[in-house]
Amino acid sequence: MEKKFEQLEIRDDFMFSVIMRNPRYCKPFLEFILGVKISHIEYPKSQETIDITADAKSVRLDIYVEDSENTVYNAEMQTVENRNIPKRTRYYQGMIDLNILEKGENYKSLKKSFVIFICTFDLFGKGRHIYTFENRCIQDTSLSLGDDTIKIILNTKGTMDDVTPELKSLLDFIDGEEPRDEFTKELEAAVKTVRKNEKWRLDYMTLQMNYQEKYEQGIEQGREQSNRQSALRMIKAGKLSNDEIALYSGLTTEQVEALEEMFQGNGDTF
């Protein structure tokens, strides 16, 4: 069940994406994670949506920003453990690269990119707060492929002393603890401000309605497919009339007749 707007926290996807549209929060957020200073960030779009082809699965990004050093940063909140995180990072990376190439860039001009997933669980069970991956030679791990792609998986449940106090405070705040430093206090204030914003409330409600409609459409499509399969089995059995099949399957007689014609035209391969 979806949260009410007033209950949204920084770790909720909608709240996270809204707050990170402000460079005042996004820039230090990335700096704490990467341990570097970023001179400037730009937003190609407020929230990038990548559609490579009309029938391809689209990717809607929580954070998609670029800096003055020709580097792209994508950061996502992940609060569900069964979403195949490693493959998702691979998919996001590929879609980001294809999106750049779709704009006419040569592959030699692909930008250095960071795909960052902030998880509210320990994906690997090692107790680390941060897991950083890049492509290296198995035979000689000192040899990097140099493809300028880095994937970082953060864990708010980490137990090791392996990150800076600032990043530890940030991860703890995302995990639901009270803010302990200036930045997390600013984030808490930003969350409260968003909760009072009627425009964001309307956007959130609209987004949830769209999700619900897609969910219901999926259920309806699944039900229709199940009814068709049920009717097809009865057609193959050849023991019932079309009216009886329609009654038992939930389809109309016309739909059953159309299925029967398709079955007769395709035979056993249908």
Residue 180: other Cβ atoms inside 10 A: 15
Report pLDDT for 237: 83
- Per the listing, tokens 């600032």 go with 166
Model confidence band, residue 118 (pLDDT cutoffs 50, 70, 90): very high
Q: Are 163 and 153 in contact (CB under 8 A)?
A: no
pLDDT in tens, 36-62: 999 888 886 544 444 434 344 444 567
CA 169 – CA 154 distance, rounded (Å): 13
pLDDT in tens, 200-237: 888 888 877 776 666 557 666 777 788 888 888 888 88
Element (H, E) at 236: helix 198-237
CA 218 – CA 221 distance, rounded (Å): 5
- Per the listing, tokens 């949506």 go with 49
Residue 224: other Cβ atoms inside 10 A: 13
Is a pLDDT exceeding 80 seen at residue 142?
A: yes
Give residue limits of the domains in the chain.
5-196, 210-269
Mean pLDDT of 2-24: 90
Report pLDDT for 215: 56
Residue 152 bridge partners (DSSP): 116, 132
Tokens representing residue 126 in the block:
């090692």
Tokens representing residue 257 in the block:
């007749």
* Mean pLDDT of the chain, nearest integer: 84
CA 46 – CA 85 distance, rounded (Å): 24
Report pLDDT for 174: 97
Helix, strand or coil for residue 116?
Answer: strand
Mean pLDDT of 180-194: 96
Question: Of 30-44, 76-90, 236-250, which gets the smallest average pLDDT?
Answer: 236-250
56 versus 137: the higher-pLDDT residue is 137
